[in-house]
Amino acid sequence: MADTVLTTERLILRPPAAGDLPFVQAQMNTPAVMRFLGGTPRSEDEVAASFQADLEAFDSGGHRRWTVWLREDECRVGRCGLFRVYTEAAPEALQAEHEIGWTLAEPFWGRGYATEAARALLGFAFRELGLARIYSQTSDSNQPSTKMMQRLGFTHLPQLGYVDPLYPPRDNPTTVWRLTAEEWKAT
């Protein structure tokens, strides 16, 4: 699965490669992009270590965070991935469940790329991996992601919401959303 490439009308989702690190450090670690991911950019060493963990996890079948490219221009626009929920603050019912997440560089916001990438990844997860359900998390403060989850057909599960101490008060509580394979087929 380390060579799994996903394509859409406008995008290519490629497994991460060492050459993606400068893009991640320059375009994905900005105050605007990090606003809903803990609030502040991380050091270059932290980004490099996290990126190396992403490379190793993808190759070993752990979490997978694809680099999202524009097909037409062959430029990177962001990242989209499948993970497991391991946040200690999350309720027990959510622990180790599959989760989808996405992040785009600021110049590419508002063009539908995140939704398009997420749809490709959801299709892969439900059809190829045979997952029964996928969760997604955000906060009420992140209205773009909340609206995107609604567009994708996710259902809000307020009973699973929780306070995550790794995020600032403005981004709490964490809201939890779920999409099942059956719901995906119906869309």
Instruction: Tell me how many domains the chain contains.
Output: 1
CB contact at 8 A, 70 and 78: no
Return the axis-axis angle of helices 113-123 and 143-152, rounded to nearest 10°.
40
Domain containing 123 equals: 6-131
Positions of the chain with pLDDT lower than 50, given as ranges? none
41 is a domain residue: yes
181 is a domain residue: no
CATH number at residue 31: 3.40.630.30
167 is a domain residue: no
Whole-angstrom distance, CA of residue 140 vs CA of residue 45: 31
How high is the pLDDT of residue 38?
Answer: 77
159 is a domain residue: no
How high is the pLDDT of residue 113?
Answer: 97
148 is a domain residue: no
Whole-angstrom distance, CA of residue 118 vs CA of residue 101: 8
How high is the pLDDT of residue 40?
Answer: 85
How high is the pLDDT of residue 100?
Answer: 98
How high is the pLDDT of residue 1?
Answer: 57
How high is the pLDDT of residue 13?
Answer: 97
184 is a domain residue: no
Tokens linked to 178:
């779920």
31 is a domain residue: yes
